[in-house]
Structures are given as structure tokens and as C-alpha cells.
Structure 1
Amino acid sequence: MRILHVLSAEFFAGSVAYAVQLAEAHRAQGHQVWIVADADPLPTGATLVWAGISNRSYRQRLRNARIIRRVVKNEQIDVVHCHSRAASWVSYFALRGLKVPLVSTVHGRQHLHTSTSLLDVYGDKVIAICDNLREHLITEVKMAAAKIAAIPNGIAFGNEQLSMKNEESAGTLADDNSSFLIPHSLLSEPLRLAFIGRFNGGKGERVADLLEQVFPALLAEFPTLELAFIGGEWDSLPARGKQAFAALQEEYGSAINLVGFTHDVPGWLARTTLVIGAGRVAIEAIGAGRPVLALGEASYEGLVTEEAFAAAAASNFGDISARQASTKVDFAAVLADARAFLQTPKTVSAALQQQVRAHYNIATVAARVLETYQAARMQKAGIGYIPVLMYHKIPDAPLATKHQIYVTKENFEKHLAYFKQRKLTPITFADYLKYASGELPLNEFPARPLILTFDDGYTDNHTNLLPLMQRYGYRGVLYLLGDFGVRHNQWDLATDPTEPRADIMNPEQKLAFVAAGWEIGAHTQSHPRLSTLPLREATAEIRQSKAALETALHTEIVSFAYPYGDLNDAVKNAVREAGFALGVATDTGGLTIEEDRMQVFRVNMFPNESTSSLFKKTSPWYRKYYRWKRGK
């Protein structure tokens, strides 16, 4: 894709660092990237274009909009991604009348005034960097939930180990399997507590409070303690903070270290016992194995542990609240937590470090953001509702089964004739993704698309379904189990021995569908109800099915079908993390594919579908009708 980022970059804030790393991640994947910003240079190989985005005078806003529009038209940009409200404002007007989608990342709470709700300048899709921010945008700003994706800021974590002098020879004192005491070599050195972050705005107020209420007591109690203040905008620190800092520096001298802005944050982390910070600072510190007291502009989240991680991450480690609330912090609690930690310092547990690195991994985040670009692109092109129909068995004659998940060969041919008559064009999910990514031109997208899916891979799919589909020139999506040793519907017989046995295709028959241009999707290894399994087992079922099918059938697997339509948020996350682009459900999900790619709405097809029911189930209004009828 051809991607344009627009950002305010008067100083190198976390949002700027994130945008740059995202640009580099997409460039590494072969995408072309431009950046319009009021900073030059930036540490990126993307093409830079200067514009005074931070200058909000109406004259400069007009200039900025003209610059952005010129870049978009000259470079044939596919998507514009903004990283501040100022950037979104000018881009919104720059793109008026163009078919180019606008995506905005919102990095913090928005001012609650009438213009925020009335004029939605954030564009076609919005990325909220944490769960609290998404809730704020929905409940307080009144944004449509369907347009907001919660995607964290990504971090390009290094693979280096923390430099701990003589660690191997000194050994460690372990207290349990989840965390470890600091090595003896570090205990013989001064303890170092570092505040890392900006010193202006709300962060500056927090630093002033720490200097007045926390650090004096800690320095008095721990004779070897050193303090480091790392970050930009020191001149903006409140006057009371500067006075408290000067008093501490006069009393403790070189133990008080004003580092200021530095590119060597990893080096300082390696020499720090405890970090106080929020947002990107907390993520980078934990990812590097450094313990964090999460203190942000909105709240104090305390020491980040495995148990506390989810809640801390939801607030971006104290920076963002879900609702308007007091931002008052109990600094006596901060002092108590810091004191308790410094008495028995510990490193971050390997499990927490791995959890943070996985959640904020820039490659994973970049893939999620790219998915959002594609969603905005399809939405901007006016591609909305696509009927997705779910079939199973296609037998010669009616079956004596209570499940009614079959359509006879004769009736199925009537379905195909109806689709042909209505000029519906069957495509696959793999086709859809090619249009969304730009691999296929959007102006060639079918006017009336239809996706036909078939679960389990019964032998009658080979003998009856495949020839019929070929006769009509159609292709579909076949969802198969990864375990080719499963040769019949054993999951049905396990719950009801009276259920008729239905055989599963052999490998050669499955390969015939690949040869015919069908998409193959994964349907787990053994057809369990995923939400009833321990998450580790469910994840194995999901991951192994993808790997097994790709190996056996030599085809890329991009979509996953949940057995029984059974899912929950944890299962959906496991499907995404396994590398699937889409997860398809049964009678649940969004009104469009892009509303929730991990829960695509499929319509169940039954033995006695009529012309009227086929009309209903392939109509644009059907999903809304289905929800209304069932009170969903």
C-alpha cells in the first residue's frame, strides 16, 4: 500500500516514536510510506514532507491541507493515517471529495465539547491505543463502536539481554518461579530509581509531586539511592518541582541526576532498579526486564505484575481513564510501594516480560493497523454487506438427522440457479483480502458479491458439491480439520450415537478443491467447542490446524471457522494471534466483514430453503432483521 502519516512533531513524544516505528515496520513489509510533519529530520527512511501541523492558525491549517492534498494526489496515496487531533483536522478537509480513506490514532482522552461530537474529523476508522480510551470514545465522545479498534502502540523490542555486571558468576537468589531478586553484583552498587517521561503538562505535575512527597523520604531512608530524571521539556516543569529538585540536589549532590532527553534509554534502563513512568515508558521498561511503578496523568496503577498487567494496560499504565474522574493520586501509597520494593528489589518475571513483548510487538501491531487500513479502504469504496452462507453436507437424498445441517444435491443446484439468476457473484475470503489490500483493483470488485462456505469436508462435498459448483463456474471456501486422521463426524456420534455417520474426504479429494481454485480454511484439529477448553488447549487446536493444512495441502490458510459458532473474546484473540486474517462465526457478528474480522456473520442454510428464504438470506437488510427478530 501507499501510506501517508500526518503528525505533530514539535518534540519527539511517544506518539511520534510510535508513528516512526510503524512507518518502518510497514516499509520493511514492502509498503511505500510518506510522512507529513513539522519535524525534519525524523529517524526514518520514509519520504518526509514538512508542514506546520502543530500551528493551528487558520492560515497555516489551510496551507497544511493543501500540502496533504497535493501529496495524496501526486503520490496516489491509498490511506492517510493521522496521529493527533491537529493532524486529523487538516487531513479531514484535505481529503474532501477524494476516495482516499482517513484513519486516526487517538493517543489520549478528548475534550468533551459540542464540536467533538458534531464534527467527526477522525475519519473512517479510529485506533484507540488502549481499552479505556476506546470506552471513552464510545461512551463520552459518542463515536460509533464499529469504527473503533483498540490497538496498542507498538514497540520494536531488541533481543539484547540486560547488562548485569558479573551476573553469571554472582548468581541470583530466587524466591519463586515468577520473579527473581536482583543479582548480588547489583545489590553492591547504588540503587537507582528513574522517572522517565515528559516534564510538561500533567506529567510535569506528577514529577513535582514526587519531588515534594516521595523522593525526599526515599533518599533519607536509602543512603545508596540515586535518582535519574530522563525525558524532554524540563524547562516546562512546574516551579514548585524545580524548587524541590534544587533542594534535593543541594542536599544529595551527585545522587540527583538530571539526564534530560537521551537516545540511550535502553542503557539507562539496564542500570536502573525501579522505573516510574507510564505509557510507552512503562512498556519499554518491562519489555527490557525493568520493574515499573505505573504512574500516569490519569491514575496510579502501582507495581506492574502479571496479575496487574491487564488493568494497567487498559489505562496505558495510568495515562488514560475510561470516564471523567478525579486524577488525584495518593502519593503516600506511591511512597509505600517504592519503599517496599527498594527493600527487596526484584527483576520483572520472565512471564510478564514475554506478555508485554507479545502484546506490544511492533510487527503484530503493524499487521493490525494494516488490517484497519484495509477496512477503511473497503468502507470508503462503499463495500458493505456481503452475504456469507454456511453449508455442510450435500447428500443425494434427505438424511434422518435432527441437526438439519444439509442441503440435498437437487436442492443445492436450485440454490446455484437462484444465485445465477440474481447475478450474485461468489468470491472467497482470500479474494476479498486481495481487493482490500490493493492486490486486485477495487473498481473490479463484484457489484453483488456472495461467499459460499462449507464446513467439515464430507465426502459428498467431493462427489456432489464440487461438480455442481464447477458447472456454474463458482468457487467457495471449504473449512477442514487439521487432523486428517479424523475420517467421520465423530463429534456428532460422541454426543448422540443414533446420529448417522458421515464420512470425511481423503487427502486426494481435499486436494481436488485446491486444484479447482477453492479457498481452504481451518476448522480446528478435532472439532471441539473452543470456549469450553482451557485457553492453552484451544490455542493449540487453532494453531495446529493452520499449520497442518498448509503443510498437507500446500495452500495459504487465511480464514478460520469456529466449530458450532462457539467463541469468546479469548478464543477470537487466539485466532488473530495464530495468524488468521478472518474468523467466521454462525449467526453472530458484525453487519459487515470489516465491523469485526474475527467474528464474520454467517447464515445457516437448511434442507428446505425456498426462493423467498434465499432472497431474504442474501438481502442487504437480513442481518439487521435477524438481530431485531431475536432482540440482539
Structure 2
Amino acid sequence: MRILHVVSAEFFAGSVAYAVQLAEAHRAQGHQVWIVADADPLPTGATLVWAGISNRSYRQRLRNARIIRQVVKREKIDVVHCHSRAASWVSYFALRGLAVPLVSTVHGRQHLHASTSLFDVYGDKVIAICDNLREHLIAEVKMDAAKIVAIPNGVAFAASRNEKLRVRNEELEIDNSSLIRVAFIGRFNGGKGERAAALLAQVFPVLLREFPALRVALIGGELEHLPAAGKAALAQLQADFGERIEVVGFTADVPGWLARTTLVIGAGRVAIEALGAGRPVLALGEASYAGLVSEANFAQAAASNFGDISARQASTAVDFTALLADAQAFLQAPWPVAAALQQQVRAQYRLTSVAARVLETYQAARMQKAGIGYIPVLMYHKIPDAPLATKHQIYVTKDNFAKHLAYFKKRQLTPITFADYLKYASGELPLQDFPARPIILTFDDGYTDNYTNLLPLMQQYGYRGVMYLLGDFAVRYNRWDVEADPSEPRADIMNPEQKRAFVAAGWEIGAHTMSHSRLTALPLPEAAAEIAQSKAALETALNTGIVTFAYPFGDLNEAVKNAVRAAGFALGVATDTGGLSIEADRMQVFRVNMFPNESTSSLFKKTSPWYRRYYRWKRKK
């Protein structure tokens, strides 16, 4: 894709670091990236264009909008991504009349005044960096929940360092030398500066007297803007403790300082980087104090971006006596971050994973901007010669299926695959060529009658579909049905050569676990293995890319959906649950069950744009 970031970069804040790292991650994947910002240079290989984004005078805003519009038109930009309200304002007006989507990342709470709710300048999709921020945007800003997705800031975690950073069993150990160091890492202006001033006055003097080997490091930009009370407290500390106060200021070597630090005090990106590097963290942000981060409180701390963001308007007062007690207890017997917590942080905030989620958001905005909404996705199973004596009415006879295809042809419905859809969403195929009336035909399990009856009929009409197969080719019949009910007739599954015939015919192959297990009934590690191994097995056996996954029995929950995403699938398809469109939730795409006695009227209903809303209303799903 051709991506344009718009950034307010008067100083190198966390939002700027996030935008730059995101740009580099997407460039590494082959995308072309431009950045419009009021800083030059930035540490990126993206093409930089200067504009005074931080200058909010109306004259400069008009200039900024003109510059952005020129770049968008000249470089044929596919999506614009903004990282501040000022950037969103000018980009919103720059894109008026253009079919280019606008995505905004919101990094903090928004001022609650009339213009915030009246003028939704954030565009087609909004990325909230934590769960509390998403709740704030919905409940207090009154933003449409459907356009907001919670995606954290990504971090390019280092694998190792040459300093005293030692990795053993994926756990970083605390340095056992006599030196201990507490580091406050963050900006020294605004709310962060007020927190730093309180630490300098109320916490650090006590710790320095109690622990003679302790050093305190102050790391971050804008030190000259530290509040007056903080400057006075700092001067007193320097007079009392001399070189034990390390005033570092802004540094590009935060990982190096993390490696030499026993305990980090910070929030947001600082906390994420520290935990990912195995450094214990007292999560202190502009909104609250979230405590010493552990496995027990990690989810709650992460929801607030480690103390930076509250979900609702609330007091930001912090009990620094409690913070001091936590620091004292820790420094008396320092311990490393648990390996499981470090791994969880690295998995949740890994830059490559976050960049993939953001790219999905770009694609969703692109399809939404193009007016592509509900696409009927039909779910078939067996296509037998004659009706089956089964209580599971998941078949359509060969003759009836031929009538379905004739009906689709008559209504000028164009079958596509999910792989096709993703090519349009990513820009690999031009959106102007997207079918006017698309339909996606899916078939689960891979029964032998799909080869003997289904494939010839589809080829007769020039149609392709999506076949969901098990990764274990040793499974040769519907044993999940027969084992549950011995009276259920056995239905054979295709052999490898028959499965390869679908690949040769241009069909998309999707994964359906290894053994057709109920995923929510399994321990999560086993479910994750069923999911990931099925993808790898099918790609090896059939020599084709696998990008979508079908949940057996439509059985899923949020943990299972996360496992599908983590396994590298672009889409997860359900049965009769999911959003109004594919982009509403790529990990839970709604499919329509097809039964033996579908009529012309039921086919009309099930392929109509309004059907999903009707089904949700009727079934309360």
C-alpha cells in the first residue's frame, strides 16, 4: 500500500516514536510510506515532507491541508494515518472529495467540549491505544463504537544487549552487584512533569537515604519544562546526594539504560519497553498509579496504558506514600519480571503483530470508503446424489445445488474467494474492478461428494469457492459426528489427490483445525496448536497459501479468536455469528447456513444485503 502518516513532532514524543516505528515496519514489508511532519529529520527511511502541523493558526492549517492534499494526489496515496488531533483536523479537510480513507490513532483522552462531539475529524477508522481510551471515546466523546479498534502501540523489542542484560530461559535477571538504580523515564513537561516533580520531592529523598547503593536516573526530554517545584527538589537532591542523581535527559539509548536499571518508574511505551526487556515497573502515569506490574494486575494496568489513561473522568490524585512503600518493598529484595509476563508483553506489543493489525485497519477503512459492506457468505457441507438420513441437515443434493448456481447466475451474483477480497482490500487488485454483486461460497470438511458432484458443477459455471479442510489427512470420514451419535451415517472425506484438484481449479483452501475439535472445550494451548498446525500442514501438503480459518461447529470465544490471529490467519469465519460486514470483525465473519430444501425465496433472502440485519433482529444475535 501507499501510506501517508501525518504527525505533530515538535518534540520526539511517544506518538512520534510510534508513527516512525510503524512506518519502518510497513516499509520492511514492502509498502511505500511518506510522513508529513513539522520535524526534520526523523529516524526513518520514509519520504519526509515538512508542514507546520503543530501550528494551529487558521492560515497555517490551510497551508497544511494544501500540502497534504498535494502529496495524496501526486503520490496516489491509499490511506492517510494521523497521530494527533491537529493532524486529523487538517487531514480531514485535505481529503474532502477524495476517495482516500482517513485513519487516526488517538493516544490520549480528548478534551470534552462541544466541537469534539460535533466535528468528528478522526476519519473512517479510529485506533485507540488501550481499552480505557476506547471506552472514553465511546462513552464520553460519543464516537461511533463500530469505527473504533483498540490496538496498542507497537515496540521493536531487542533480542539481547551487550551490557549487563542476560537472557536465560527467556527471563532477564536483576543485576546482583551492589549498585541498584531506579529510573524515572518519561517527558518532564505537562502531566508527566508533575509526576516527576512529586517523585523528586516525596519519594526519591527517602529511597536515597534508605538505600546507600541506590542511584536515581532521570531520563527523558523536555527537562527544562519540569515544574518549578520539581526543579527545586532536583537541585536539593543534587546538593545532598551528588553523583547518585543521574540527570540523563533525552537519549536514544533507552534499551541500554533499561539494562542498567533495577526498577523503572513510568507509563505507556516506557512501561511496555521495560517489561519486554525484563525490567520491573512501577506503573505511574498521568491518570493514575497502577502499581508494581505483575501477572495478576497486568490486564488492568495495560487497559490504562500503565496509568496514563482513565476510561472516565476521574481524579488523577496519586497516593505517593503507597508508591514509596511499593518501591521500598521491592528494593529490599529485588526480583526479576516473571518469564511468562515478559513473554505476554512481547506477544501483545510486538511491533510486527501491531503493524499487521494496523494494516488490517487501513484495509477496512479502504473497503468502507469504497462502499463495500455486506457480502453474502454461504456455508455448505455435503453435496450428495440423494437426500441423506441424518439429523444434521447440513447437505444440499447435487440437483438442488445446481439450482442454487443457476439462481446465482440469473441474479448476476459473482462468486469470489476471501483471498480475492483481501487482494482488493490491500490494493493488489484495483477497487474499481470489485464485483458489483459479490458472493462467497464456502464448503466445510472436504467430503468426497465435493469432488464428484460439487467441483464439476462449479466448473460448469466458471465459479470458484473456498474449501475448508482438516490439517490431518489421516481423518477420512466425519468421525466427530459418528462418535457423538453412532446412528449418524458415515461420510467419507477426500483423499489428497482429490483435494489438490481444488487447488488446481483455482479454489481457495482454508484451515479447519487438525481434527475438527470443539476449540473452546480444549485447554487454550491445545486449541492454539490445532489452529496453527492445521495452517502449516495444509500449506505443506497442498503447496498453497492458507489465509482463512473456519471454526468447527462455529465454536469460538475471544481467546480462540486471538489464537487464530496469532497463527497468522487474515480472517476467521464463524457460522451464524459475527458482524454486519467482513470488516466489522475479521476474526468472526458471519456465514449463512444452507439447508436441503432452500427455495427461490429463501435464496433471495439469504443473498440480500439486508439479511444479516434481519437475522440479528430475529435471532437476537
TM-score (norm 1): 0.97
Matches of 2:382 and 2:260, distance apart in 1:
63
Instruction: Assess, with a 3 A threshold, how the Cα gap between structure 1 residues 334 and 178 changes in structure 2: closer, same or farther.
Output: farther
Matches of 1:164 and 1:90, distance apart in 2:
46
Q: What's the CA shift for 1:602?
A: 0.3
Instruction: Point out the more displaced range, 343-352 or 497-506.
Output: 343-352
One-letter code aligned to 2:163:
S
Q: What's the CA shift for 1:520?
A: 0.2
Over residues 147-169 of structure 1, what are the superposed CA-to-partner deviations in whole Å (9 max), with x where a residue is unaligned? 1111111111111146229x79x
Q: What's the CA shift for 1:56?
A: 0.5
**2:536 aligned counterpart, secondary structure:** helix
Matches of 1:536 and 1:106, distance apart in 2:
33
Query: Does the CA contact (< 8 Å) of 2:277 and 2:342 recur in 1?
Result: yes
Matches of 1:87 and 1:459, distance apart in 2:
56
- Give yes or no for the alignment of 1:5 onto 2:5: yes
**1:353 aligned counterpart, secondary structure:** helix
2:147 maps to which residue? 147
Query: Does the CA contact (< 8 Å) of 1:475 and 1:518 recur in 2?
Result: yes
- How many residues align? The count is 621
Match for 2:418 among 421, 429, 436? 429
1:295 maps to which residue? 284
Q: What's the CA shift for 1:215?
A: 1.2
Query: Does the CA contact (< 8 Å) of 2:171 and 2:342 recur in 1?
Result: no
- Determine what percentage of the aligned residue pairs are the same residue: 82
Q: What's the CA shift for 1:454?
A: 0.3
Over residues 279-332 of structure 1, what are the superposed CA-to-partner deviations in whole Å (9 max), with x where a residue is unaligned? 011111111121111100111111111222221111111111111111111111
What is the 5 A alignment of 1:15-26? 15-26=15-26
2:174 maps to which residue? 182
Matches of 1:41 and 1:180, distance apart in 2:
34
Q: What's the CA shift for 1:572?
A: 0.4
1:448 maps to which residue? 437
- Give yes or no for the alignment of 1:468 onto 2:457: yes
Query: Does the CA contact (< 8 Å) of 1:481 and 1:523 recur in 2?
Result: yes
Matches of 1:553 and 1:538, distance apart in 2:
23
Matches of 2:87 and 2:450, distance apart in 1:
53
Over residues 120-150 of structure 1, what are the superposed CA-to-partner deviations in whole Å (9 max), with x where a residue is unaligned? 1010111111111111112221222221111
One-letter code aligned to 1:395:
P
Match for 1:304 among 293, 304, 308? 293
Structure 2: give runs of 5+ residues left out of the alignment: none
One-letter code aligned to 2:598:
E
Q: What's the CA shift for 1:24?
A: 0.7
Query: Does the CA contact (< 8 Å) of 1:7 and 1:83 recur in 2?
Result: yes
Q: What's the CA shift for 1:243?
A: 1.1
Matches of 2:118 and 2:147, distance apart in 1:
16
Matches of 2:78 and 2:502, distance apart in 1:
34
1:227 maps to which residue? 216
**2:194 aligned counterpart, secondary structure:** helix
Instruction: Point out the more displaced range, 501-510 or 359-368.
Output: 359-368
**1:214 aligned counterpart, secondary structure:** helix
What is the 5 A alignment of 1:291-440? 291-440=280-429
1:14 maps to which residue? 14
Instruction: Assess, with a 3 A threshold, how the Cα gap between structure 1 residues 334 and 162 changes in structure 2: closer, same or farther.
Output: farther
Q: What's the CA shift for 1:181?
A: 6.4
1:549 maps to which residue? 538
1:502 maps to which residue? 491
One-letter code aligned to 2:91:
S
1:89 maps to which residue? 89
Matches of 1:496 and 1:457, distance apart in 2:
20
- Give yes or no for the alignment of 1:98 onto 2:87: no
What is the 5 A alignment of 1:479-628? 479-628=468-617
Query: Does the CA contact (< 8 Å) of 1:286 and 1:348 recur in 2?
Result: yes
Matches of 1:222 and 1:44, distance apart in 2:
42
Match for 2:196 among 207, 223, 226? 207
1:261 maps to which residue? 250
Instruction: Point out the more displaced range, 152-161 or 470-479.
Output: 152-161
**1:478 aligned counterpart, secondary structure:** strand
What is the 5 A alignment of 1:62-73? 62-73=62-73
Over residues 548-605 of structure 1, what are the superposed CA-to-partner deviations in whole Å (9 max), with x where a residue is unaligned? 0000000000000001111100000000010000000011111010111000010000
Over residues 433-478 of structure 1, what are the superposed CA-to-partner deviations in whole Å (9 max), with x where a residue is unaligned? 0111111111000000000000000000000000000001100000
Q: What's the CA shift for 1:183?
A: 4.3
Matches of 1:599 and 1:437, distance apart in 2:
19
Over residues 498-555 of structure 1, what are the superposed CA-to-partner deviations in whole Å (9 max), with x where a residue is unaligned? 1111110000000000000000000000111111111000000000000000000000
Instruction: Assess, with a 3 A threshold, how the Cα gap between structure 1 residues 300 and 399 changes in structure 2: closer, same or farther.
Output: same
| Root-mean-square deviation over aligned CA pairs | 1.4
Matches of 1:108 and 1:181, distance apart in 2:
33
Matches of 1:57 and 1:562, distance apart in 2:
53
One-letter code aligned to 2:256:
G
Matches of 2:471 and 2:144, distance apart in 1:
38
Matches of 2:255 and 2:592, distance apart in 1:
52
2:114 maps to which residue? 114
Q: What's the CA shift for 1:180?
A: 7.9
Matches of 2:495 and 2:143, distance apart in 1:
50
1:192 maps to which residue? 181
Q: What's the CA shift for 1:375?
A: 0.7
Over residues 380-426 of structure 1, what are the superposed CA-to-partner deviations in whole Å (9 max), with x where a residue is unaligned? 11111100000000011111111100011111111100000000000
Matches of 2:619 and 2:150, distance apart in 1:
28
Matches of 1:310 and 1:163, distance apart in 2:
30
2:268 maps to which residue? 279
**2:213 aligned counterpart, secondary structure:** coil
**1:74 aligned counterpart, secondary structure:** helix
Instruction: Point out the more displaced range, 550-559 or 109-118.
Output: 109-118
Matches of 1:153 and 1:279, distance apart in 2:
9
Q: What's the CA shift for 1:350?
A: 2.2
Matches of 1:51 and 1:379, distance apart in 2:
29
Matches of 1:181 and 1:64, distance apart in 2:
49
Q: What's the CA shift for 1:239?
A: 0.9
TM-score (norm 2): 0.98
1:124 maps to which residue? 124
Query: Does the CA contact (< 8 Å) of 1:181 and 1:344 recur in 2?
Result: no
Matches of 1:239 and 1:13, distance apart in 2:
22
- Give yes or no for the alignment of 1:247 onto 2:236: yes
Matches of 1:354 and 1:492, distance apart in 2:
38
**2:472 aligned counterpart, secondary structure:** coil
**1:447 aligned counterpart, secondary structure:** coil
**1:555 aligned counterpart, secondary structure:** coil
Over residues 162-181 of structure 1, what are the superposed CA-to-partner deviations in whole Å (9 max), with x where a residue is unaligned? 6229x79xxx9xxxx99786
Matches of 2:586 and 2:88, distance apart in 1:
25
One-letter code aligned to 2:58:
Y
- Give yes or no for the alignment of 1:160 onto 2:138: no
Matches of 1:375 and 1:278, distance apart in 2:
30
Query: Does the CA contact (< 8 Å) of 2:172 and 2:277 recur in 1?
Result: no
Query: Does the CA contact (< 8 Å) of 1:178 and 1:349 recur in 2?
Result: no
Matches of 2:463 and 2:253, distance apart in 1:
58
**1:192 aligned counterpart, secondary structure:** strand
Matches of 2:174 and 2:354, distance apart in 1:
32
Query: Does the CA contact (< 8 Å) of 1:289 and 1:348 recur in 2?
Result: yes
**1:606 aligned counterpart, secondary structure:** coil
